[in-house]
């Protein structure tokens, strides 16, 4: 009976399969190319877990045991058919295939021409080395555009964001006096500039190395996606918060002589906000308010 079921399974596999692709929203502050490397699995990186992703979902009903019993069998193979015996062996449990290492961070220039090596997976990422500005997603320090930036772990309201494999390129915070002390919230006495005026104390980068402090944002209030959506003047025409990325909401903001619905984020001081051209912006509970 077991071999008869296998034979019918072979007949079932010969039928065609249809796949339907479902697309999910971007949620990345309106910027192209801001997603994780292959294999990082954005959540969301919120995605949003990951912005711009799609997944295939097989649309085929799986035959049940009852279906097999009720189906008439024609020309069933002999019980001692050696081919059938060989197929039954395939059903035995197999070991999980481990993805082989294809690169190392130290040799990524040779292993991954043009792109970085993801230190978490030892696979070549989709990010070009030295291409990610401040507050953009990354998987390796070498992704960051500026030499004083590192790919830093960040969170949003106490939860790692956007996922446990993705970071953001953030500037190393350096005190401006002789004391090596960065144990403060506001960065007025450091090299930090608006809107990154909250120091992230003793953070690891995804590439490892020395624990540093970084010029960052108030992670209990917003995300890098939220900050960038305001800087990019991302519109929310319907006036709904869900038109903006995670960490942002829709507000009426004055633009010249008129007010428009734009994405903004919560703030506590003017220096946590900056306009699209680097100009100062007021904080009235939210940037631009």
234-243 pLDDT, tens digit each: 999 999 999 9
Residue 127 belongs to a domain: no
Residue 17 belongs to a domain: yes
Q: What is the pLDDT of residue 58?
A: 38
What gap in Å lies between CA 35 and CA 42, rounded to an integer?
8
Last residue of a domain, one of 56, 90, 124: 90
Computed over every residue of the chain, the mean pLDDT equals: 74
Last residue of a domain, one of 90, 117, 149: 90
Kindly list the distances between the CA atom of residue 151 and the CA atoms of 157, 165, 203, in Å, as whole numbers in the listed order: 19, 11, 10
pTM for this prediction: 0.66
Instruction: Tell me: do 197 and 236 sit in the same domain.
Output: no
User: Is 74's pLDDT higher than 50?
Assistant: no
Q: Which of 162, 179, 183 is nearest to 42 (CA)?
A: 162
Instruction: Tell me: do 199 and 263 sit in the same domain.
Output: no
Instruction: Tell me: do 207 and 268 sit in the same domain.
Output: no
- Count of domains for the chain: 3
Q: What is the pLDDT of residue 176?
A: 78
User: Residue 28's pLDDT band (boundaries 50, 70, 90)?
Assistant: low
Instruction: Tell me: do 206 and 171 sit in the same domain.
Output: yes
Instruction: Tell me: do 180 and 260 sit in the same domain.
Output: no
Find the domain containing 251 and state its range: 224-272
């Amino acid at each position: 009976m077991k071999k008869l079921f296998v034979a019918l399974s072979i007949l079932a596999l010969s039928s065609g399969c249809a796949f339907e692709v479902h697309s999910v929203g971007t949620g990345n502050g309106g910027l192209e190319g801001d997603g994780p490397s292959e294999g990082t699995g954005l959540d969301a990186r919120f995605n949003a877990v990951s912005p711009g992703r799609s997944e295939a979902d097989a649309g085929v009903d799986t035959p049940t045991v009852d279906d097999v019993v009720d189906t008439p069998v024609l020309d069933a193979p002999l019980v001692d058919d050696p081919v059938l015996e060989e197929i039954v062996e395939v059903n035995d449990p197999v070991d999980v295939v481990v993805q082989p290492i294809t690169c190392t961070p130290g040799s990524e220039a040779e292993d991954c021409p043009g792109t970085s090596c993801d230190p978490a997976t030892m696979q070549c990422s989709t990010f070009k080395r030295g291409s990610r500005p401040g507050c953009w997603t990354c998987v390796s320090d070498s992704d960051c555009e500026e030499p004083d930036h590192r790919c830093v772990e960040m969170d949003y309201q106490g939860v790692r964001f956007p996922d446990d494999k993705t970071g953001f390129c953030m500037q190393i915070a350096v005190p401006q006096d002789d004391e090596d002390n960065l144990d403060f919230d506001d960065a007025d006495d450091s090299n930090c500039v608006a809107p990154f005026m909250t120091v992230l104390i003793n953070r690891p980068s995804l590439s490892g190395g020395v624990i540093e402090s970084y010029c960052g944002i108030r992670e209990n209030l917003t995300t890098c996606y939220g900050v960038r959506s305001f800087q990019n003047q991302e519109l929310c025409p319907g006036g709904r918060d869900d038109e903006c990325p995670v960490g942002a909401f829709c507000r009426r903001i004055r633009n010249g002589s008129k007010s428009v619905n734009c994405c903004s984020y919560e703030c506590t001081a003017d220096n946590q906000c900056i306009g699209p051209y680097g100009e100062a912006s007021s904080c009235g509970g939210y940037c631009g308010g």
